[in-house]
Amino acid sequence: MLARRGIATTLCARREAHAETIRKARENAAYLPGVALPETLAITSDWSDTAKSADVLVVAIPSAHARAALAPIAGAIRADANVISATKGIEDGTLQTMTQMIAEIAPAGVRLAVISGPGFAAEVARDLPAALVAAARDAAVAEQVQRLFSGRSLRVYSSIDVAGVELCGAVKNVIAIAAGVSDGLGLGSSARAAVITRGLAEIMRLVDAGGGKRETAAGLAGLGDLVLTCTGDLSRNRRAGLALAAGERPALEPAPSEHRPIAEGVANARSVSALAKRLGVEMPIVGAVYRSLYEGQAPNAMVEELLSRGLKAEF
């Protein structure tokens, strides 16, 4: 999208063989089949060399592998660069958001931001209309990112609630697995609506406890992305829930394969559950997804568990 607008842009692949395949085909068949890449888009596997000259770095690496991928090139990142996370996840073990992790390994002075919201890559890459949110602690940095990504088919809003935007992006993937389970078990549209609504309540509680703003959860990064991920056919997390309902067990520790996009919610069911426990936040849907993925609880038992909880006020 940036290259089409005449902005000098380099796409960094992990392996040279993959980079060469993309260069020759002008298509990333593994992740964006059918999308022609502009001739002006440079493609490389030399991340360090690219980072040395980049004004802006966009990090779109699965959260489970982000630190290992970025640490070797951290020293090459310019201290005056903007580093924008497009990764939706919480790091396992440290329970850090992606900007917290990047701040720990990147040079001091780097300007950090996050871009998130309801935008399937396959649709955004085809110039279909979408709206996202760019967040940074410095409003001026958020507005820079907003201007960079805004275009004819993409509307970007700005925010200074980095924590809220990142936590929304991580949790909605886990809730989408629950929505996929519900759909896979044939529980109907009413059940899916309940998962989305009560999932949003869980997101709000975690955002509040994690230092974010509840209103962020009602916006694009929260409700918007939650609805998309829980209902869209392109959602990898919803598909993971459908598979779980069918008795298939998703890989709990997926390798960073070039040819298999990762459902972030699988790894983040564990990290979000741990973060909720650390912060003392009640998240029954997230907890049920975690038990189904990591403790072998049957999907129908997950539903029974949620329905049998004690009665309470909605708010």
Cβ contacts of 236 within 8 Å, gap of 6 or more: 261, 262, 263, 264
* Among 216, 204, 101, CA closest to 165: 216
Task: Give yes or no: 277 in active site.
Answer: no
Task: DSSP for the chain, please give it.
Answer: -TGGGT---EEEPSSHHHHHHHHHHTS-TTTSTTPPPPTT-EEES-HHHHHHH-SEEEE---TTTHHHHHGGGGGGS-TT-EEEE----B-TTT--BHHHHHHHHSPTTPEEEEEESS--HHHHTTT--EEEEEE-SSHHHHHHHHHHH--SSEEEEEES-HHHHHHHHHHHHHHHHHHHHHHHTT--HHHHHHHHHHHHHHHHHHHHHTT--HHHHTSIIIIIHHHHHHH-TT-HHHHHHHHHHTT----SS----TTS---HHHHHHHHHHHHHHHHT---HHHHHHHHHHHS---HHHHHHHHHTSPP----
Q: Which of 24, 52, 88, 172 is catalytic?
A: 172
Q: What is the CB-side half-sphere exposure of residue 190 using CA atoms within 13 A?
A: 0
Taking the C-alpha atoms of residue 141 and residue 258, their distance in angstroms, rounded to an integer, is: 32
Residues serving a catalytic function are 172
